[in-house]
Every structure is written in C-alpha cells, then in structure tokens.
Amino acid sequence: MKEAEIRRLLAANLLCAFSVILTAVVPAFFWDGFTVLGTHLTWLCICSVCVGTLNIILHLVVKANLTPKRSSFAQKISRFLKCCIYFFMSCILFHVIIVLYGAPLIESVTETFLFSVLLSTFTTLQCLCMLGPNIQAWIRVFSKNGATSIWESSLQITTVCSILGAWFGAFPIPLDWDRPWQVWPISCSLGATFGYMAGLIIAPLWIHWNRKQLTYKSR
C-alpha cells in the first residue's frame, strides 16, 4: 500500500472536514444573525450543498482513477440521472426511517426532510460518487472484507460514523434540560456532522496504522 495514496486520502478528507467548518463560519460574514443553532435549517441547506459539491469535485479530480472504464456521453447522462434518482430515494428512505424512530410525522416535516438530505449527503452521495448507481457494489463494499481500496475503506468508516453520530445525537432530545440545541433536529444533525468529520479523520489514520494487515483484492 503506497503512502502517497494514503496522503491523498488524508488531504481529501481534511478538505471535506474543513468545508463543514467553513459552512458554519463563512455565512455569518454575509448574513446578519446567522448561526448554526439560530438559523439551523439554512445551515442544513448550506452544509448539504457545499459538502455535496466538494465531494463531487474531489471525485472528479482526485479519485478519477477509481473508474477507469470509458463511457459514452449518453451513458454518462444516464448514470447522472440514475444518481439523482438514487439520491432522492435515499432522502425519502432516511425520512421514513427517521419518522419510524420517533420524529414528528406531521409537524417539522421540513426539518426532518432537510436532516435526511444532510444524512444522505454524508452517506449516499459518497457511495454514488465512488461506486455509482450500483447496488451490488454498495452491498459488496459494506460486507465483511468487501473493500477493494483505501477509498472504499474510508467510505465504510465515514458512512458508519455519520449514521452512528446521528443516532447518538438523538439521546439528549427527550431530556428536560431545555437547551436550544435539543430542538428537533439540531442535536441529530450536529451528531451526524461530528460523526462524519470524525470518520474523515479516523479513516486515513486507521488505514495507516493497519496498512500492513490490509490486503485488497480486485473484484
């Protein structure tokens, strides 16, 4: 396993983590009263758009060699449309799952859906960028010993950390602390964000420490 490839992964992941921090800082210079807690829905939109755009750019620039097969323009358009459909379906699926886990069904529909979009950006969008609209490839990557590259290992870690972060973020909501960040879905979205950023940092470090044990077989 080449150290240069791990450094590329670390640089790309740190850039993604830094972009999340910028979404909480930069808008305040242009929008009076902007805060992550006070204007949370706006921040959810900004964070989803910025992180999603950066992931797509990094895939095209840094990780382009992961998909060496050439395709025609029509195939690229078809692939793009499928990715858009898959992402929208992911948002709907996360929305339904979140409601089944106790989120308001009628009230706070906008809040729940925007949180679903954020969670899909941290998880599904990465899968679409790296693996495309190929469910079998997704199942392979998230099965035991299914990763075939350090990028897929990083995908596993960041996806799991994002979902776990969102799940742990739900624990403070029913507590009677009366804190502003307990309002739905602030604690969950912050938990998912911290989990995503933690996964971005943990992934290259874990791969570096276990590089001698990791063996990737092409499939």
For residue 197, pLDDT beyond 90: yes
In this prediction, residues 96-114 reach a mean pLDDT of: 92
Q: According to the 3-state scheme, what is the secondary structure of the chain?
A: CCHHHHHHHHHHHHHHHHHHHHHHHCHHHHCCCCCCCCCHHHHHHHHHHHHHHHHHHHHHHCCHHHCCCCCCHHHHHHHHHHHHHHHHHHHHHHHHHHHHCCCCCCCCHHHHHHHHHHHHHHCHHHHHHHHCCCHHHHHHHCCCCCCCCHHHHHHHHHHHHHHHHHHHHCCCCCCCCCCHHHCCCHHHHHHHHHHHHHHHHHHHHHHHHCCCCCCCCCC
With a pLDDT cut of 70, the percent of the chain lying above it is 93
Q: Which residue has the higher pLDDT, 115 or 173?
A: 115
> Which region among 14-18, 19-23, 70-74, 214-218 has the lowest average model confidence (pLDDT)?
214-218
On average, the pLDDT of the chain sits at: 90
The identity of residue 56, as a single letter, is: I
**Residue 28 in tokens:** 């305040």
Note the pLDDT of residue 145.
Answer: 76
Note the pLDDT of residue 38.
Answer: 92
Note the pLDDT of residue 65.
Answer: 46
For residue 13, pLDDT beyond 90: yes
Note the pLDDT of residue 217.
Answer: 58
For residue 64, pLDDT beyond 50: no
Q: What distance in Å separates the CA atoms of residue 121 and residue 172, rounded to the nearest whole number? A: 24
Q: How confident is the model at residue 1 (pLDDT cuts 50, 70, 90)?
A: low
Tell me the per-residue pLDDT of 32-48, one tens digit each, with 9 for 90 and over: 999 999 999 999 999 99
Residues whose CB is less than 8 angstroms from the CB of residue 149 and which lie 6 or more positions away in sequence, other chains included:
66, 216
Sign of the torsion formed by the C-alpha atoms of 62, 68, 74 and 80: negative
